[in-house]
Chains A and B, each alone.
Chain A
């Protein structure tokens, strides 16, 4: 998978927006950016993915820069239940499995 870089940890106040950055400067033109999160002792949960355009669903928004070398996952109103490790993954074309890095540990503070 394309190499991604994420900050190891972030804090966010409950009710505030959480903005999680990811750098993926080696991304190719047809590779998607995926975001998953893993809450303690659970399997990873799919959040959102995108190719070029910004995307929004019921969980989050994904902002991808025009050059596609970085992206930001936005949780608009973070709650305590959003405390988790968030993974930004760019699967290589043709490689079906996902490679998990260290991710960003988001701690939502009351």
Chain B
């Protein structure tokens, strides 16, 4: 099946620093990737849609200048949390869409971010 990886799996950083999270589709090309965020005891919430070679589309309430998304190739999308604050601590998960009729999505293992 389709495999999506994320790196790092967890990261601890100081408040005010920036953190980059990578999402890779390992055995397929993904023109579209998605970034989700999950707070404790809550469901996944879509943050943005990442399209290869174009600007990302952000959901309402998600600051595009704070969460920078780059989708430079068909297998890699990155999410950079700029000037991270403790309230940005969360579980960040990416997914990639397979280009078949049903457009099935496969998810990465997630990145746990803790901002001190």
Interface residues of A, Cβ cutoff 8 Å to B: 32, 34, 36, 38, 41-46, 49, 87, 96-103
Contacts and interface: CB of A to CB of B under 8 A. Distances in A.
Given A44-B93, A98-B95, A103 B109 contact: no
5 contacts: A32-B102, A46-B104, A100-B36, A100-B43, A103-B43
A33 B111 CA distance: 27
A59 to B, nearest CB: 10
Q: Which range holds the interface residue count of chain B?
A: 20 to 34
B110 A43 contact: yes
Contacts of B95: 43-44, 98
A97 B1 contact: no
Contacts of B112: 41
A100 B36 CA distance: 10
A36 B36 CA distance: 15
Q: List the 5 shortest-distance A-B pairs measured between CB atoms, nearest first.
A: A43-B107, A100-B44, A100-B43, A43-B110, A44-B107
Interface of B: 1, 4, 6, 32, 34, 36, 43-46, 49, 91, 93, 95, 97, 102-110, 112
A97 to B, nearest CB: 5
The residue among A43, A96, A98, A100 with the most chain B CB atoms within 10 A of its own CB is A43
B27 to A, nearest CB: 14
A46 B43 contact: no
A59 B49 CA distance: 29
A23 to B, nearest CB: 18
B103 to A, nearest CB: 7
